[in-house]
């Protein structure tokens, strides 16, 4: 009897040790990436694709062995695009899986989690946000923006305008933005930058998101006759209404947008009114032929044969995955442990990185890669076509 107990105990201890060893081994070979994704709620239209893009790239990296000797594991949960729930989800994933990289669903989460991210969690943090506020390494040392901030996007458009404006006098520009954080984010910088480039900001119009009656705003545009009007802080409404009304007044204004109003779907919604619609995109589109985009398409033909096209938010997710993998590889190349601190330093060391044409050459300064390209809508083909090369701003 005594003997049997002893054997049981010995077996138990051996099993426990073996399990612990296996666990340690597994933990060494696995790099966990957690994500709080806005799969439901107001932002779901993009959240679903962002999640798909990020997840697909991680699978793609695993299949192609892009991270030598390690397996990436992707853990995601829905937040409903609610800051409180997103914070809860963040903490839940950190407590359960303890990943070294996290992905967040909003600017709000980035701000709310910042104190604890800096003092406690210390993980690399990417997000859906292009907010200029996150591009401050002093307050947000662990965060990065997957591309240019909204300010940079305005900078790119304004530079394009200054260079390509034909006609007498300074180009006249109107800013048309929503009364939200998303809408107001780049405006102070844009005012300053316009002045430096010799562009006259002739009017600034602020509305609610999704405003339906835009007659007064269109009249204001008619009065000031801008050559260009840049939208910020909208996804769709009221952009079509504004363009239609202004066209009815016979204005020749060129309308422009930033990332969220630059998806292919806006051309479908605008129809013939999309003619001449322009804007800045941080990434190439799914229909382009850059090698990075081709391998993205090839992956999708195999893994998701039902998806014939992918929105720009999918590419945003995919690109964020690329940044994660690049940072991990930089840390591994330096023979350092994969920790949030090392990853965050690695982001800052990314210089002139070739992404295979998914975007321009990527250099991270102040937590962001300030590169983008100006595109114009081709109504007949229903796609955006580049009208400039990659533009780099500071």
Ranges of beta strands (E only) in 226-368 are 228-232, 254-257, 278-281
- Judged by CB under 8 A, the residue of 83, 225, 287, 309 near other proteins is 83
Give yes or no for residue 88 binding other proteins (CB under 8 A): yes
- Judged by CB under 8 A, the residue of 119, 167, 168, 305 near other proteins is 119
- Judged by CB under 8 A, the residue of 33, 35, 114, 338 near other proteins is 114
Nearer to other proteins, 115 or 337 (CB): 115
Give yes or no for residue 85 binding other proteins (CB under 8 A): yes
Which part of the chain contacts other proteins (CB under 8 A), choosing from 36-44, 59-67, 258-266, 374-382? 36-44
The minimum distance between CB 323 and other proteins, in angstroms, equals 25
Give yes or no for residue 56 binding other proteins (CB under 8 A): no
Give yes or no for residue 97 binding other proteins (CB under 8 A): no
CA dist., res. 150 & res. 393, Å (int):
12
Q: Which of 307, 309, 257 is nearest to 282 (CA)?
A: 257
Give yes or no for residue 298 binding other proteins (CB under 8 A): no
Give the three-class secondary structure for 122. coil
Give yes or no for residue 120 binding other proteins (CB under 8 A): yes
- Print burial letters for 38-58: b (CB count within 10 Å at least 16), e (below 16): bbebebbbbbbbbbbbbbbbb
Give yes or no for residue 133 binding other proteins (CB under 8 A): yes
The residue with tokens 């210390």 is 122
CA dist., res. 343 & res. 337, Å (int):
9
Which part of the chain contacts other proteins (CB under 8 A), choosing from 17-25, 81-89, 210-218, 309-317? 81-89
Give yes or no for residue 179 binding other proteins (CB under 8 A): yes
Q: Where are the alpha helices (DSSP H) in 137-283?
A: 150-164, 181-184, 187-197, 215-224, 239-248, 265-270
Nearer to other proteins, 32 or 85 (CB): 85
Give yes or no for residue 194 binding other proteins (CB under 8 A): no
Which part of the chain contacts other proteins (CB under 8 A), choosing from 21-29, 75-83, 191-199, 368-376? 75-83
- Judged by CB under 8 A, the residue of 86, 94, 280, 293 near other proteins is 94
- Are 131 and 110 in contact by the 8 Å Cβ rule? The answer is yes
Q: How far is CA 33 from its chain centroid?
A: 17
CA dist., res. 73 & res. 28, Å (int):
12
CA dist., res. 47 & res. 123, Å (int):
22
Give yes or no for residue 115 binding other proteins (CB under 8 A): yes
- Are 310 and 53 in contact by the 8 Å Cβ rule? The answer is yes
- Judged by CB under 8 A, the residue of 32, 54, 61, 78 near other proteins is 78
Give yes or no for residue 91 binding other proteins (CB under 8 A): yes
Give yes or no for residue 309 binding other proteins (CB under 8 A): no
Nearer to other proteins, 139 or 350 (CB): 139
DSSP H or E segment with residue 325: helix 312-333
- Are 222 and 249 in contact by the 8 Å Cβ rule? The answer is yes
- Judged by CB under 8 A, the residue of 36, 48, 66, 377 near other proteins is 48
- Judged by CB under 8 A, the residue of 28, 29, 63, 84 near other proteins is 84
Cis status of the peptide bond prior to 84, with omega within 30 of 0: no
Q: Which residues bind other proteins (CB under 8 A)?
A: 39-40, 44, 48, 77-78, 80, 83-85, 87-88, 91-92, 94-96, 108, 111-112, 114-116, 119-120, 133, 139, 179-181, 184-185
């Amino acid at each position: 009897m005594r003997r049997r107990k002893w054997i049981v105990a010995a077996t138990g201890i051996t099993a426990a040790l073996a399990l612990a060893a296996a666990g340690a081994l597994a933990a060494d070979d696995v790099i966990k990436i957690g994500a709080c994704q806005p799969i439901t709620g107001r932002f779901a239209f993009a959240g679903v694709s962002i999640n798909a893009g990020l997840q697909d790239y991680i699978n793609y990296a695993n299949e192609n062995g892009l991270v030598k000797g390690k397996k990436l594991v992707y853990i995601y949960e829905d937040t409903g695009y609610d800051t409180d729930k997103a914070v809860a989800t963040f903490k839940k994933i950190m407590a359960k899986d303890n990943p070294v990289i996290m992905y967040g669903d909003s600017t709000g989460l980035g701000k709310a989690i910042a104190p604890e991210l800096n003092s406690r969690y210390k993980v690399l943090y990417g997000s859906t946000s292009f907010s200029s506020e996150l591009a401050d390494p002093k307050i947000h040392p662990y965060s990065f923006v997957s591309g240019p901030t909204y300010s940079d996007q305005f900078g790119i458009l304004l530079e394009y305008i200054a260079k390509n404006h034909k006609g007498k006098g300074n180009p006249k520009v109107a800013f048309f933005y929503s009364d939200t954080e998303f809408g107001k984010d780049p405006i102070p910088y844009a005012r300053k930058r316009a002045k430096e480039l010799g562009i006259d900001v002739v009017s600034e119009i602020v509305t609610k998101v999704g405003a339906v009656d835009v007659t007064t705003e269109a009249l204001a545009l008619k009065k000031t006759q801008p050559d260009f009007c840049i939208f910020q802080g909208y996804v769709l409404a009221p952009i079509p209404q504004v363009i239609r009304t202004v066209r009815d007044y016979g204005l020749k204004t060129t309308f422009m947008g930033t990332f969220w109003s630059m998806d292919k779907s806006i051309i479908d919604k605008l129809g013939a009114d999309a003619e001449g619609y322009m804007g800045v995109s941080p990434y190439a589109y799914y229909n382009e032929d850059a090698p990075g985009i081709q391998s993205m398409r090839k992956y999708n033909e195999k893994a998701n044969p039902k998806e014939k096209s992918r929105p720009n938010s999918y590419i945003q997710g995919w690109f964020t995955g690329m940044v994660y993998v690049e940072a991990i590889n930089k840390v591994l190349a330096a023979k350092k442990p994969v920790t949030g601190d090392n990853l965050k330093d690695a982001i800052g060391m990314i210089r002139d990185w070739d992404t295979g044409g998914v975007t321009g050459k990527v250099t991270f300064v102040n937590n962001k890669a300030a590169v983008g390209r100006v595109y114009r809508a081709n109504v007949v083909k229903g796609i955006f076509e580049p009208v400039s090369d990659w533009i780099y701003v500071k």
